[in-house]
Structures are given as C-alpha cells and as structure tokens.
Chain A
C-alpha cells in the first residue's frame, strides 16, 4: 500500500470520531424516544422513528470514514485487519481494540436492521441491545485512544454525550413500556388527523366528517371506507 502520512488523515480521524460520538448519542436518544412511545401529538411517532433510522445511517457513514482514515494512515501502524479484529493493532493495542469491538457490535446492529424484514423480530431486538454496549465501549475507546477527548472541548462533548445516553438508558429502564400507550393520530399522508385531545366519536354516532375549516381546504374524501366494520378482526 502507498504510504499515506498526510496529517489530514489524522485530523479527519479525530474529527469524524468526535462527530460519530455525537451522532450516535442522537441515534440512541431518538431510539429511546421511539421505544418509550414519545410523540403522537406535536410530533409523530413515525417521524422520530424515521429520524432515528436516517441519523443512524449518517452516523455509520461517519464511523466508516473514521475507520478508513485510521487504517490508511501509515503514520501509526494499525493495519487493515485491526479494523474488524480486536487486539491485532501494534499501535495502542487496547484502546484500538475497544474501538474495534464497538465497531463489530455496531456492524451487527446495522446488518440486523438491514435484514429486519428477513429475521425474527425478537432476534433484531436482542441484537439492538448491543448498541448500548457499543456506545459504552466507544466512549472508553474515545477516552483512551482519542487525542481530543481528555481535555477542553473534546472532553466536554464526551461528558455531555455520556450524560445524555445515561439519562436515556435510565429512562428506558424505568419506563419500560412493553405494551401500547394509547392513541396516536398524526400523519401528513392523508385524512384529517384525529388529535389526541379531540373526543373520539362513539361507534353509534354518525361518523360525519367535520365541516371544512376556514384556514385550509378540505381534503378529497378517500375512495375507500375510513371506518372499519365493527366486530371484525383487528
């Protein structure tokens, strides 16, 4: 391989490492919001889920840059194998190995999410718990291997990220909603949203559409029934 000793690789590794930490903090927090059934009135639950998925993809891209720039930077000899196999780096063996372990756990989470439709949902959920462990290991990796994480702004960022994720974890553990948590009715895709605050019409009452409001045009009525038949399967 061509020896690449540009300091910009090192700068890129440092910067993307810190950005990856911040992004995964966001991803874990958003995932906790989804799992704890936040949203449904001001912001849709599916919107938080979409944000979780999209920011996770961005975070994985930054993680990939972080790993690739580390591997191709020949100033320190980590070697390409050290990207996926822990404890083979001759440079900072333990700190790099922790990053490798966190990366492998994140790869498992990423692959299981891509294969979500093909694997059992319970498997996907189990693998998804790895992300908490990966985050914790990644933080230790940042503190041990990182150039910037032990002082100044870098340390402040790490502390804030750890505090946010620790709070999210405590909330996830304390709230632990395993079943439904009430109505949600917020969608940009069609119909008028039934706000959670609005009283729900009873089945016996005629389900007439409300009069068009002055502030917006009435949407076209859908070409298929809005109300299900009572007493049928759910």
Chain B
C-alpha cells in the first residue's frame, strides 16, 4: 500500500459510440454529468481535482454503473 498522492485532476470521458443514453451517469454523478433533452450526457470538460473525493467517487460510480461501459476516468495533471 503506497501513499496515494492526490495531485492533478481527472476528467470523465464518454465514448459517444457506445453511449445509448441510459442516463445512469447523470443520476450517479449529477455534478459532473448533465443530460441533454434526448438523454445523452454532457460532461463537465474541465478537469476536476483528484482531491475532490466526492466528485471522484461519483465519477467512479458512474463508470461502474454505465450499462454500456461507455465511460472512463482519465487523469490529467493540470487540475484547477
């Protein structure tokens, strides 16, 4: 077990080809994902700090909850 350094940030990314607009991500990560009027996700594009554990946890829930496995979390180093 190493010490997890909470530096940098993450973005939640959707594969629009896999996405079928189930809308589970918008329920599980409501601060990161909004749905358009057709039910497809609009995801906050600017990186969120990894230190924001609530946001990170909700993003992980969204990734796990996606019925189409269309979401992934990508680390970026220039978090705001």
Q: Is the CB of B27 within 8 A of A185?
A: yes
Residues of A with C-beta under 8 A to B43 = 228, 234
Residues of A with C-beta under 8 A to B49 = 223-224
Distance of A181 Cα from B22 Cα, bound (Å): 7
Q: Contact check: which of A183, A191, A222, A229 meets B45 at CB < 8 Å?
A: A229
**Shortest CB distance A234–B (Å):** 5
**Shortest CB distance B12–A (Å):** 11
Q: Does B8 contact A (CB under 8 A)?
A: no
Question: How many cross-chain pairs have Cβ atoms below 8 Å apart between A and B?
Answer: 113
**Shortest CB distance B67–A (Å):** 6
Q: B residues 27-51 with Cβ under 8 Å of A? A: 27-31, 34-46, 48-49
Q: A180-B39, A228-B43, A234-B41 are in contact. Are A121 and B31 (CB under 8 A)?
A: no
Q: Contact check: which of A37, A224, A226, A232 meets B52 at CB < 8 Å?
A: A224
Q: A189-B28, A225-B46 are in contact. Are A50 and B65 (CB under 8 A)?
A: yes
Residues of A with C-beta under 8 A to B68 = 121
Residue of A nearest to B35 (CB): A183
Q: Does B76 contact A (CB under 8 A)?
A: no
Q: A45-B27, A49-B24, A183-B35 are in contact. Are A116 and B69 (CB under 8 A)?
A: yes
Interface of A is mostly: loop
Residues of A with C-beta under 8 A to B22 = 34, 37, 45, 180
Q: Is the CB of B27 within 8 A of A234?
A: no
Q: Is the CB of A191 within 8 A of B31?
A: yes
How many chain A residues sit at the interface, stated as a range, is 35 or more
Q: Contact check: which of B37, B44, B67 meets A224 at CB < 8 Å?
A: B44
Distance of A229 Cα from B46 Cα, bound (Å): 9
Provide a sorted-by-A list of 23 A–B residue pairs whose CB atoms are within 8 angstroms.
A35-B67, A45-B22, A46-B24, A46-B27, A49-B24, A49-B65, A116-B69, A121-B69, A183-B23, A183-B39, A184-B27, A189-B29, A189-B30, A189-B61, A191-B30, A223-B49, A224-B44, A226-B31, A229-B45, A232-B45, A234-B16, A234-B41, A234-B42
Since A185-B26, A228-B45, A229-B46 are in contact, a sample of 15 more A-B pairs with Cβ atoms closer than 8 Å, ordered by chain A residue number, is A45-B22, A45-B23, A46-B24, A46-B65, A49-B65, A116-B69, A178-B20, A180-B39, A180-B40, A182-B37, A186-B27, A187-B28, A187-B29, A189-B29, A228-B42
